[in-house]
Structure 1
Amino acid sequence: MEVKTKQKQKSLMIISRSFPPFVVGSSILMSNLFDSYEGEAKALACWQYQTKIDSGFTTPCETFYLKMPNAFLQRVFDRFQHKLMFINRLFIRKHLKKHRPDLVFFVYPNAPFLVAAYQVCRSMRIPYVLQMHDLWEENYSIEHPRGALARKWEAQIYKNALRRFSMTKIQQAHYKNKYNLPIDILPHTIRPERIESGLADWKHRQKLGQSSKNYTVVYTGNISSAMNLDAIRQLVLAVDLLPPEVKVKMFVNFNEEQCRNLGVYHELIEYDWLPISKVQEEMREADVLFLPLSFKNAAMDEVKTVYATKTLDYLVSGTPILVFSPSDSFHSISAKEKGWGFVVTKDSPKALADGINRLRNETDLGDSLVSAAFEEAESRNAIKYAGQINQLVNTI
């Protein structure tokens, strides 16, 4: 009798500097995608003393961290990481030799960690795929150390990748034009249970109707001079143009003094930082979610191509989204084409206040936006894309 031997399952190693439990964009994206991954996977990441931790934000697979002995040494390492890449290489090589993955999944946006991973994979002849969360070379000046790394390594990393993934169609076109190489789309994804629970909650709230006298506008996420600072300042100025019953809340990683220094403080705005689950509750209870991108004085190529991580939570919140960004940005184009957000492309506090007031007065418009947002969320169902990665691993 012939006995069939069970074929060994092929394995994937994810290499991303940011990973749960640290609450930053790339960590959230990796968690969403690989929480639905059914194959064998492990991850390599960096411990980040300066980044907020959410104890409920757990890793989707076994994870090994490059960890400095204390926060001071971590700050030194982060500052000079481009000169200390040998530490990254030693850490990555140790685990690739131990676990022998069939495929490595690189994630940018951390240049020194990415370059070190590339160098080790090439020397060990391990195939890799590359996912770009942000642009690289375009976001740094010639003088910046990471700009120098990009000019030396970006083309090589792209050329030698087994597959290359962009987050949006505009980013895909950008890199196709730049390198004349095939680029696939691997978008920001959403866990299926988040879509299902969000939709059920929204339908339940529709039956109950509105009860609060106040009308709340919520912003969550980072404040970045490169990506949204000037747009958030316009929201602060718009507060004085809104009726008194309209309240604004910001859940950001900055205290009141830092917000004052950035020019985004207003005495009528409520500021706080909360764990992910609590912020999601605030999103569901809000009346409008503010989704800004920079109009000026920023990394405009990045603004055009990016898809902000917070958009994922916004889409499944059951709350209308107000997109405040340039007309040629992917955010504005996608929201207009698919109807998942009310788009304001005029860079002024009055235009922003007018948009908020229109959503406040037209409840049918808000319902239409939310319905389209859930359709957009379903198109980003993590099960579909995690399955594609698993299929790719098993073809190696």
Structure 2
Amino acid sequence: MNAHQKTRQPRFVLVSSYFPPIVGGTSTVLRNLVSQISPDDVSVITEYRELHADAPRADTPSGVNIKTTSLPPALFRRVPYIWRWERYLRFALILRVRDLTLRAIRRNRPDCILGIYPNWPFLIGAYLAHRSSGLPLVTYHMDIPVRRSAMSAFEGWFIETFEEKILRASRERLIISGGYGQDFSCRFGLSSTLLPHSIELDTIRTRLKDLPEPPTSGPTRIVHTGIVEGQREGLLRIARTINENPKLDARLILSTPTPKKRLLQQGFNLPCVDILSLPQEKVLALQASAHILTSVLPFFHNTKEGALTGYPTKVVEYLAVDRPILIHAPAWTHLCKHVKEYKYAQIADQPTSGSITEAINKIRTDRDHTEQLIKNARNLATNFDIKTIHRKFIQILSINL
């Protein structure tokens, strides 16, 4: 090949339950990844979800061929209490996902199937399409791998039947958190490749110049952006700590697609908590208005292996915002180990109000320490620049196909 001739970019079918306009960590990761790829080189098989009129939405990459499937929405409107069975009924989508993936393969002649976890029905559907077509399978793992022991017998059967088969069939196992690699190695003796969440670093830094600094007076603004469900335990502990300690003079501000009514019922109906549901384009302004950005992991998760491997995608975005970061998570988690290695956040690693109070006060009173945390975070953010991650992704596909 001529030294100046460009290598053809691999084409693939992306199979994921989560994709824009849905807002969330996985959707954001995939939107950024696909935005750097020619629309002719990617097809998307995803799940259609009805969104309320005021629900936040993410921009869908333009020109991309997207096919959706879902359980019939009318089913949940007409049959009483059937929503209780939704998580089980969604396994009925497996064969539909397989068939849509096979159609995309026949139509676009891709080089591989890219199956995304979380969501077992979609990952299993991608695997079955791989088996039917013979096309190489690459998997990308973006969430805590749920153990069979933490699932019902029905769901557990699918995990026991397919998890190891999928992992061993995959040409490459991409992971968004380094902790997942430890998990796959210990349980299956399999290697994996880290491909972290990407951020548009230049765009963020350009926008930050025009955004106002946090207020110089008033309560300390502690901001969390993103889905609350998996972080509810830690966020509630922060909220209650603020509420019970008026001397902290702080507020917890949540911007989340999680319905406000549900959060209020779950204990966030405190005077020190503000619950917002901002569109994606306004999230950076909220982050920039924070005195402290926070991310949490559970201390009392059903399976310790799960919390051990988690690394919230929002932490990557926080790195670029030039605000101090507070991590409330167990000391033994991959997240805390990563923070201690690179020293870019203050850690509250005990499930107590004292630990949280101490961490908040450390950020507010030790100026030199806080400035060093921000500097370290700013330097680390360059590792997650979207151009760097895209080049790595294409290189991984090219090597394995």
TM-score with structure 1 setting the length: 0.88
1:9 offset after TM fit, Å?
A: 5.4
Alignment of 1:242-257 (within 5 A): 242-243=246-247, 245-257=249-261
2:166 to 157, 160, 170: 157
1:170 equivalent to 2:179? Answer: yes
| Cα distance change of structure 1 residues 144 and 308 upon mapping to structure 2, 3 Å threshold | farther
1:363 to 361, 367, 374: 367
1:57 equivalent to 2:59? Answer: yes
Deviates more, 1:68-77 or 1:43-52: 68-77
SS where residue 42 of structure 1 aligns? strand
| Cα distance change of structure 1 residues 358 and 244 upon mapping to structure 2, 3 Å threshold | closer
| Cα distance change of structure 1 residues 372 and 121 upon mapping to structure 2, 3 Å threshold | same
Q: Provide the residue aligned with 2:272 in structure 1.
A: 268
1:217 equivalent to 2:218? Answer: no
| Cα distance change of structure 1 residues 29 and 185 upon mapping to structure 2, 3 Å threshold | same
1:184 equivalent to 2:193? Answer: yes
| Cα distance change of structure 1 residues 193 and 18 upon mapping to structure 2, 3 Å threshold | same
> Following the alignment from structure 1 to structure 2, what is the Cα–Cα distance between the partners of residues 34 and 84?
24
Paired amino acid for 2:35: D
Deviates more, 1:91-100 or 1:242-251: 242-251
> Following the alignment from structure 1 to structure 2, what is the Cα–Cα distance between the partners of residues 115 and 188?
23
2:231 to 228, 233, 239: 228
> Following the alignment from structure 1 to structure 2, what is the Cα–Cα distance between the partners of residues 123 and 132?
22
1:116 equivalent to 2:103? Answer: no
Paired amino acid for 2:226: G
1:90 to 84, 99, 122: 99
Deviates more, 1:139-148 or 1:109-118: 139-148
Deviates more, 1:282-291 or 1:159-168: 159-168
1:301 equivalent to 2:305? Answer: yes
Paired amino acid for 1:57: D
Alignment of 1:5-20 (within 5 A): 10-20=10-20
Q: Provide the residue aligned with 1:43 in structure 2.
A: 44
CA-atom RMSD in angstroms: 2.8
1:34 equivalent to 2:34? Answer: yes
SS where residue 80 of structure 1 aligns? helix
1:130 offset after TM fit, Å?
A: 0.9
Superimposed CA distance per residue, residues 156-176 of structure 1 (whole angstroms, 9 cap, x where no aligned partner): 111111111222222101101
> Following the alignment from structure 1 to structure 2, what is the Cα–Cα distance between the partners of residues 69 and 27?
20
Structure 1, unaligned runs of 5 or more:
none
Conservation of the 8 A alpha-carbon contact between 2:41 and 2:110 = no
SS where residue 270 of structure 1 aligns? strand
SS where residue 250 of structure 1 aligns? strand
Q: Provide the residue aligned with 2:79 in structure 1.
A: none
> Following the alignment from structure 1 to structure 2, what is the Cα–Cα distance between the partners of residues 234 and 14?
38
| Cα distance change of structure 1 residues 86 and 305 upon mapping to structure 2, 3 Å threshold | same
Superimposed CA distance per residue, residues 287-338 of structure 1 (whole angstroms, 9 cap, x where no aligned partner): 0012111111444212110111221221112211000000011111111210
Conservation of the 8 A alpha-carbon contact between 1:192 and 1:383 = no
> Following the alignment from structure 1 to structure 2, what is the Cα–Cα distance between the partners of residues 171 and 11?
26
> Following the alignment from structure 1 to structure 2, what is the Cα–Cα distance between the partners of residues 170 and 336?
14
TM-score with structure 2 setting the length: 0.87
Conservation of the 8 A alpha-carbon contact between 2:222 and 2:290 = yes
| Cα distance change of structure 1 residues 303 and 50 upon mapping to structure 2, 3 Å threshold | farther
Alignment of 1:197-208 (within 5 A): 197=206
Conservation of the 8 A alpha-carbon contact between 1:255 and 1:272 = no
| Cα distance change of structure 1 residues 82 and 340 upon mapping to structure 2, 3 Å threshold | same
> Following the alignment from structure 2 to structure 1, what is the Cα–Cα distance between the partners of residues 133 and 19?
24
Paired amino acid for 2:95: F
1:79 offset after TM fit, Å?
A: 4.8
Structure 2, unaligned runs of 5 or more:
77-82
1:23 offset after TM fit, Å?
A: 0.3
Q: Provide the residue aligned with 2:80 in structure 1.
A: none
| Cα distance change of structure 1 residues 67 and 158 upon mapping to structure 2, 3 Å threshold | closer
Deviates more, 1:27-36 or 1:384-393: 384-393
1:33 offset after TM fit, Å?
A: 2.5
Alignment of 1:64-83 (within 5 A): 64-68=66-70, 71-73=73-75, 79-83=88-92
Identity across the alignment (%): 20
> Following the alignment from structure 2 to structure 1, what is the Cα–Cα distance between the partners of residues 362 and 305?
30
Paired amino acid for 2:324: P
| Cα distance change of structure 1 residues 73 and 63 upon mapping to structure 2, 3 Å threshold | farther
| Cα distance change of structure 1 residues 144 and 229 upon mapping to structure 2, 3 Å threshold | farther
Q: Provide the residue aligned with 2:326 in structure 1.
A: 322
Q: Provide the residue aligned with 1:237 in structure 2.
A: 240
